[in-house]
Structure 1
Amino acid sequence: MDPVRDGMEYPDVTLAILAGGQGRRLSGVPKGLLEVEGRTVLERLLSLAPRFGDVLLVANASEPYSRFGLRTVADAVREKGAPGGVHAALVAARTPWVLAVACDMPFVEPEALRVLLGARGDDVDAVCFEVAGKLEPLLAAYRGALGPAWGQSLVEDPSLRQLLSRFRARLLPESALRAVDPALRSLVNVNTPEDLARHGVSLPAR
């Protein structure tokens, strides 16, 4: 049985795609418009959308993504980088939970999402993977109710790791991800020309 065919898999979760800034090391291209096998990274992430109760794009410059017709919000607290992007998703979400995904992650596996979202609980405010001693907060689940406290914390310019330490975070071990995604492809992000070549990603046709 495919739960996606029989009904929404995560009706209580918003898929929030964080567009971030321009890819300065990639000729200024919005990273969600990078292409893999003829599809933009954003389109690849949107293929996951039917599983979720809602979809949201966080983008301070929304024009490059206007053709996708997504509900789009800007950072509520500007100049705070990824922590500010997560905050924008939390305060704009209409569901109890938010799955935050960076727009430069072309290979997110549905099974990785099942592991992540399956680890939620009443005693947890956030769930993310910890790989090689590093947290992966841009493929992570957050309780929407964190929004106000998260926003207040932005005054201090904290890192995502520091923010997670203030809440009830469940850190999943690398082995939990490797069990369903042995090469950890779900965590691949594309930031440099070297990344493009390594992962078969191309700049969009002008």
Structure 2
Amino acid sequence: MSWTAPPARPVTLGLLAGGQGTRLGVVDKAWLLRDGESQVVRLIAMFPSVSDVLVSSNSSDPRYASLGLRVVADATPGLGPVAGLAALANACRTPWLLTLPVDTLDPPANLVDRLLEAVRAEGIATGAVVQDDEGLQPLAALWATDVLAVHAAAALAAGRLAVHQLVAAAGLRTVRLHGVRLGNLNTLDDLAAARVALPDGGHR
């Protein structure tokens, strides 16, 4: 599979793939396999209408390039997801940026539409963050790109590395998605429950 852009839509998908998956034995979660398909490929396929895809990663894995994906590295590695969000915002060419962790299991197919509808219906200029059945998911959010760029830079400069603080500072609206559990892959039990296999070369 190679990703190609559809007709222009003002939303970029930004996948946060910077975690090392240490609880899984130091494995890149982007390449975890579910039903024979890697996480990064699965998530891209779920959002065919976005106008661009970015991957936040400090990895030089050539598989990203083989898929036609643009990888953006943190300006200062080691500062966690806020640094990844800053890098995505700086590289984003559309007014809106949908961010998701690359190990997200079950985002609804209409997530972009639901979040766009929420911000447009209420005139929210900053964006919206998902609250699913397990609670607030601060990395699953639709951001106004310029707002994220400003607030992420300020957070990094001040050493505020908690994503929920960034969400609050940016003024994102919370959108409750009833009956939705995004899920993620943090432990071997999570992998077993989701029928996810470690990729070739992965180790426990």
TM-score, normalised by the number of residues in structure 1: 0.84
Number of matched residues?
A: 191
Q: Which residue identity does 2:190 align to in structure 1?
A: D
Match of 2:21 in 1: 23
Task: List runs of 5+ in structure 2 lacking aligned partners.
Answer: 1-5
Measured on the aligned residues, the alpha-carbon RMSD in Å equals 2.0
Choose which of 27, 40, 44 in structure 2 pairs with 1:42.
Answer: 40
Match of 1:61 in 2: 59
Aligned-residue identity in percent: 34
Residues 1:91 and 2:94 aligned together = no
Residues 1:148 and 2:150 aligned together = yes
TM-score, normalised by the number of residues in structure 2: 0.85
Residues 1:168 and 2:171 aligned together = yes
Cα separation, partners in 2 of 1:23 and 1:158, compared to 1, 3 Å: closer
Choose which of 177, 199, 203 in structure 2 pairs with 1:204.
Answer: 199
Cα separation, partners in 2 of 1:132 and 1:41, compared to 1, 3 Å: closer
> Contact 2:11 / 2:50 at 8 angstroms: preserved in 1?
yes
Q: Which residue identity does 2:48 align to in structure 1?
A: P
Q: Which residue identity does 1:68 align to in structure 2?
A: L
Match of 1:101 in 2: 100
> Contact 1:124 / 1:170 at 8 angstroms: preserved in 2?
no
After superposing the two structures, state which structure 1 stretch, 158-167 or 192-201, moved more. 158-167
TM-fit CA distance, 1:58: 0.9
After superposing the two structures, state which structure 1 stretch, 111-120 or 52-61, moved more. 111-120
Cα separation, partners in 2 of 1:135 and 1:53, compared to 1, 3 Å: same
Match of 2:114 in 1: 115
More helix by share: 1
> Contact 1:30 / 1:64 at 8 angstroms: preserved in 2?
no
2:198 match: secondary structure: coil
Distance in 2 (CA, whole Å) between partners of 1:38 and 1:75 is 29
TM-fit CA distance, 1:56: 0.7
Cα separation, partners in 2 of 1:50 and 1:114, compared to 1, 3 Å: same
Match of 2:3 in 1: none
